[in-house]
Amino acid sequence: MLELYQFELSQYSEKVRLILDFKGLAYRKIEVTPGVGQLELFRLTGQRQVPVLKDGNQYIADSTQIAKYLERKYPDRPIIPSDPKQRAMCWLIEEWADESIGIKSRKALFGALTKSESYRKSLLPMATPDVVKTLIGVVPNDVLKVLGFSVGYGPDVVKSAEEDLKQDLEALCLLLAENPYLVGDQPTLADLAVAGLAMLLKFPDGPYLELPATLKGKGIPGLGDNIAYQPFFEWRDRLYAQYRKPLTGVSTVGSTPTSIQID
C-alpha cells in the first residue's frame, strides 16, 4: 500500500490526498509530528517537509512531483489532459495555485490565528501533546503578532495576502461561472490542486479531515464566509462529494492517520 507522510492540516498534503482519492488509490496516512517527527522523516527520506509519498522502496517529495509520479505510475483516471493546450493550461493553473493560494492562504490564516486563541489551538495537529496545546493557547495575541514580524508575516504582509486571495477567488468564480471545471469538461490536476489548496481558506464541511466539529465548514473571516466567493466553495464541495473519500476506521483510502514512530 502507498504511504503518505503528511500533516493532516497541510494544504499541500490535502492536494495529494485529493489526487490519490480521485485515482482510487488505497493509501495509509502517516502523521508527522512537527519537530521530532520531521527529524525521523529526514532520516528516512532526506526530506523534512511534507507531503512525502512512499511507494515500495521509493520516496517522492513535493506535491507536484508526487502528482507527476502518480500520473506515470498509475495512469488510470488521468489528471493531465492529452490535448496540448489544455495540458499547458493545467500546468499553469497548478503552478499558480501552489504559489498563490498555497502560500498566501498560510499568511491569511496566520492573521486569523493572531485574533483567536481557541482557533489556533483547534488547528494544532492531533498528535500535539496537551501541554504544548496549552502553552500555545495562552500565548497572547500581541506576542503572536510580534512573532509574525520575525518570520515575515507582519500585518501589512497578511493584509496584502488577503487582498490577493480576494482577487484569486473572484477570478476562480468567473472561470467557473459557465464551466464545470477549470480546464476542459473533466477534472484535471488544476481542479484537484486548487480545491485541495483552498482547504485553509474554508474547511470542507464533511467527514474528510481530522478536525474538531466546530471547525468544519468554517473559514478565514472575510474569505471563507464571504458570499461573493460562495460559488467557488460550492464548486469545491461538489468536487469533494464526488471524489474525496470520507474518513473510515481502517487504513484505506482517506483513513485516520497513524502517527510516525520515533526510534
pLDDT at position 33: 73
pLDDT at position 254: 37
Grid coordinates of 27:
493509501
Provide the mean pLDDT of the chain: 84
Looking at domain 2-73, which CATH architecture does it have?
3-Layer(aba) Sandwich (3.40)
pLDDT for 88-138, tens place per residue? Answer: 999 999 999 999 999 999 999 988 887 776 666 666 555 555 544 454 454
Position 151 pLDDT exceeds 90: no
Q: What is d(CA 214, CA 261) in angstroms, rounded to the nearest whole number?
A: 29
> In 10 A of CB 39, how many CB atoms?
13
pLDDT for 11-27, tens place per residue? Answer: 999 999 999 999 999 99
CATH 1.20.1050.10 fits domain 84-243: yes
Confidence band, pLDDT 50/70/90 cuts, at residue 214: confident
Residues of the chain with CATH 1.20.1050.10: 84-243
Residues of the chain with CATH 3.40.30.10: 2-73
Residue 96, CA distances (Å) to 60, 104, 134, 211 in order: 21, 11, 37, 27
pLDDT at position 42: 72
Position 147 pLDDT exceeds 60: no
**DSSP calls for 35-101:** THHHHHHHHHHS--SS-EEEETTEEEESHHHHHHHHHHH--SS-SS-SSHHHHHHHHHHHHHHIIII
212 φ, ψ (degrees, to nearest 5) = -60, 145
pLDDT at position 35: 65
